[in-house]
Structures are given as structure tokens and as C-alpha cells.
Structure 1
Amino acid sequence: MRPVVVPALAAALARELVRRADEDRRVTRAAHRSPTQVARRRITECRRGNAEALKTIVKRHAWPTADVVGAPASTAALMILLHAPDLEFQLACRDLIAQATADGRCPAPHHAYIADHCAVELGQPQFYGTRVDPATFRPYPVRQPRTLDERREDVGLCPLDEQMRALRLGG
């Protein structure tokens, strides 16, 4: 059974998740502009702190689904999760997100992104082609590539060629 989150608490959780995701983006952009050891350490510290905060939220209130905290905050939680340094936590949340997606409480692309992330981290082929190798700028290996765009369409993602074109254009 899911814990009940009162509206005021849901709003506070939403603000905190968005604030933390924004901070991650800010320190990451700063590190790209000035790639120093200090900047890399700030990213690591930010992501570690964000992951600990998200673990606390999940432990107390379950996965912050879009129906509870709103779509922007649920997406912020996903970003925090994708940057978390703890694969075991990511795997546990992947299962929570899968259930929330099946129940209609979380957008299907959220499950696609965390499922692919976990597959790549485990050395397995991904399902939806959302993870791109930064060294080659090509997707990591994909399970059953012939039906990839069908799976992507099923979860509301554009065809892989469109995603890759957007990435090349910086979008």
C-alpha cells in the first residue's frame, strides 16, 4: 500500500526535487565551462547529496510519482536517480517506476530511461535506445534492434534516428 502524501507535503517534496535537479544542472554546466578538479568534486558531492535525499523520500513516501508531486518534480526525481552513484538504489527504483507506470501514475518514458540506464550499467543491451555512449556518440547496444522504434513508440519516445539527429544538433 502506498503512503498517503498530503497536498502540502507533496508540494514541499516537489519543490525540493526540482531545486535539487536544478542544482545538478547548474554545477554540471559550471564544470563544462571550467573543467577543474574542484568542479568535478562539486558534481560528485551534489549528486551524492541528491541521491541521499531521494532515498529518504522513497523510503518515507514511495517513488515520487507524477500524480503525487506533479510531472516536473517526478521528472526531476528521475534525473536525480539517473545521476545517483548507487546502482542497487537505481534497480530498486526501476521496479517502483515500472509499477507506477503500469498503474498510470508515472510517464512511460521514465521507465524507459531507468530501464535502459540499469541495463547499460549491468552490461546488458538496452530496450529503448535512450543511452548514448559519449565516446562514440552512438547508442549503447540495443536488444532486438529491428523492433526498437516500435518499443520506443509504445512508451511515447520518438524514433531513434530523430533522437540522434536532435542530439547532434545540440537539442
Structure 2
Amino acid sequence: MSPALASALAAELTRRADEDRELMRQAETIPPPDHRRRIAQCHRDNAEALATIVRRHGWPTAALVGAPASTAALMILLHAPDPGFRRDGRDLIAQAVAEGHCPAIHLAYITDHCAVDEGQPQLYGTRIDPKTLRPYPIRQPRDVDERRREVGLGPLQEQLEALGIRV
């Protein structure tokens, strides 16, 4: 891939992720039905754009588009409305991690997201239930901090405290 194309893809992914973050930031000022519709449309549009990028160029790894844009692609994937697309993306990220082209932390986030989608316990404790403000169920919770350390995440208790959650 040419540097110009990689730069254009990086800019597009980053722009889309920034738009998503801005819509989330505006949550308090936009009436709920309008807000939900705008966010849902943003997530659909972003997922469609990411799917096109993936079909044409493969997963946008840090090696391909740079770390910030690769992280933006992960955020877009996490918010994609299609669970099948998220699972496919998880598999592509797993391959990229195995090849050293993507940070393992990306795999941790999408793995937990897919597990929660499927009603399974998560591995890394990255997903918090917004109703209970506690992590969704975790597989083998006594070993969670070891798994988190292996992918570059800090201890779960530290993450919860940073979010203002007391367990």
C-alpha cells in the first residue's frame, strides 16, 4: 500500500472515531431519541466504511495505518451493530496480533465484547455493565489480572477505581 493511501485511510478512520466520540460527548445536550438515532446512524456508517477498508486492504493494523488509526478502527468495530462483523474483526485482529502487527490489548477488548454479546463470561474484564456498574461476568476471575497483564492492561481493580467504580 502506498504511503498516501495509508495516510488517507488513517485520516478517515480517525475522523470517524472522533465523530463517534463527539456524539457521545453531546449525550447530555441532545434529546434522547434524536441522540440515539444519530449515534446508531454513525455506528452503521462507520461499520460500513470499516468493512469496505477491511475488504480492500485487510485489518487496519498499526503497521499499516499507524497506532492511533488502528485504535480508531477497533473503536469503530466495538460499536458496529452487526455481531457477525465484530466476530470476523476479532478473528482478523487475533491474526494480526499473532503476526506482531497489532497490539494484544486490541484483541482483549474485542474478545470481551464478543463474549458479552454471546452471553459468555469475558476474559479480561474490560466490559462494565452500565446498569450495575460492575464488570460483566468474568471467566476464572482469580486469574483475570494475570491475563490482563499479558495483554498490557493494568489490574482490574485499578481500572474500576479509575472509572469511579467501587467493588
> For the superposition of Structure 1 and Structure 2, which TM-score range results when normalised by the shorter chain?
over 0.9
Alignment of 1:17-96 (within 5 A): 17-96=13-92
**Which among 135, 149, 152 is matched to residue 148 of structure 2?**
152
Offset of 1:36 from its aligned partner? Answer: 2.4
- Indicate the RMSD between aligned Cα atoms, in angstroms: 1.0
Q: Which runs of 4+ in 1 moved over 6 A?
A: none
Q: Distance in 2 between matches of 1:32 and 1:81?
A: 24
Structure 2: tracts of 5 or more residues without a match: none
- The TM-score normalised by the length of structure 1 is 0.94
Q: Distance in 2 between matches of 1:73 and 1:32?
A: 27
**Which among 9, 16, 34 is matched to residue 5 of structure 2?**
9
Instruction: Write the letter of the residue equivalent to 1:50.
Output: N
Structure 1 match to 2:161: 165
- The TM-score normalised by the length of structure 2 is 0.96
Structure 1 match to 2:96: 100
Offset of 1:6 from its aligned partner? Answer: 1.5
Offset of 1:34 from its aligned partner? Answer: 2.8
Structure 1: tracts of 5 or more residues without a match: none
Q: Distance in 1 between matches of 2:67 and 2:39?
A: 24
Q: Distance in 1 between matches of 2:75 and 2:124?
A: 17
Please give the per-residue CA displacement for 1:150-169, whole angstroms capped at 9, x wherever unaligned.
00000000000000000117
* Paired positions, count: 165
Q: Distance in 2 between matches of 1:56 and 1:157?
A: 30
Please give the per-residue CA displacement for 1:78-114, whole angstroms capped at 9, x wherever unaligned.
0000000000000001000001011110011000000
Offset of 1:31 from its aligned partner? Answer: 2.3
Please give the per-residue CA displacement for 1:106-132, whole angstroms capped at 9, x wherever unaligned.
011000000000000000000100000
Q: Distance in 2 between matches of 1:142 and 1:37?
A: 33
Instruction: Write the letter of the residue equivalent to 2:135.
Output: P
How many percent of aligned residue pairs carry the same amino acid?
67
